[in-house]
Amino acid sequence: MNLLWKTSRRGDLWIDERALVDLVRSRLPDSAPCQGATLLREQDLVEVRIALSSQKGAVDSAKVDELARAMDELFAPLGLGATLAVVKADLEERSPCGRLVGNPLCWGVMAATVTAAFLLGPSSVVLSLAVGVGFYGVAWLFLSPRGKDLLRSLLQK
């Protein structure tokens, strides 16, 4: 989305919100991910929203002040000020297993696999898995960017 910054007789000056967020993310540490940025054009301010984890219920104010100074330094050459809005968030590392357990597709595939094992027998399940892996490989080759690159390089030889 484009954010309107200035209006004059010669036209309007817009700033791309994604570019603004990417700029902020490039300067922030991984422990403080940027959640978004808003341009407050009346005040020539950029409001930066970051997520900080709070282990003991309180956010470290020294860290917030340091990040606010860094944002001020980042936007000062553009003639903009910066404000920092802190969103408390628990930034726990989630394991892939945790994401799979919460995915309904995972439960459906697991139930289908267990049912197939009981109804079809082990040899049919192994054959079904082999066919599935084969189709996945072919689909990956034709649909993914890396697969297309591999296919292109194989065809050029």
CATH number of the domain bearing residue 43: 3.30.300.20
Q: CA geometry: angle at 152 spanning 150 and 153, to 5°?
A: 65
Same domain, 82 and 102: no
| pTM, rounded to two decimals | 0.50
What letters, b where the CB count within 10 A reaches 16 and e where it falls short, cover 88-111? eeeeeeeeeeeeeeeeeeeeeeee
pLDDT in tens, 65-107: 888 888 888 888 888 888 888 877 654 555 555 666 667 777 7
- Give how many domains the chain has, as a whole number: 2
Choose the weakest-confidence range: 36-45, 54-63, 64-73, 124-133: 54-63
Pick the last residue of a domain from 88, 106, 128: 88
Same domain, 30 and 63: yes
Same domain, 20 and 80: yes
Same domain, 102 and 125: yes
Same domain, 28 and 56: yes
Q: Which domain holds residue 140?
A: 96-156
Same domain, 7 and 84: yes
Same domain, 67 and 24: yes
pLDDT on residue 91:
47
Residue 115 binned pLDDT confidence (cut-offs 50, 70, 90): confident
pLDDT in tens, 21-46: 888 888 888 777 888 888 887 788 88
Beta carbons of 26 and 14 less than 8 angstroms apart: no
Same domain, 74 and 114: no
Pick the last residue of a domain from 32, 67, 88: 88
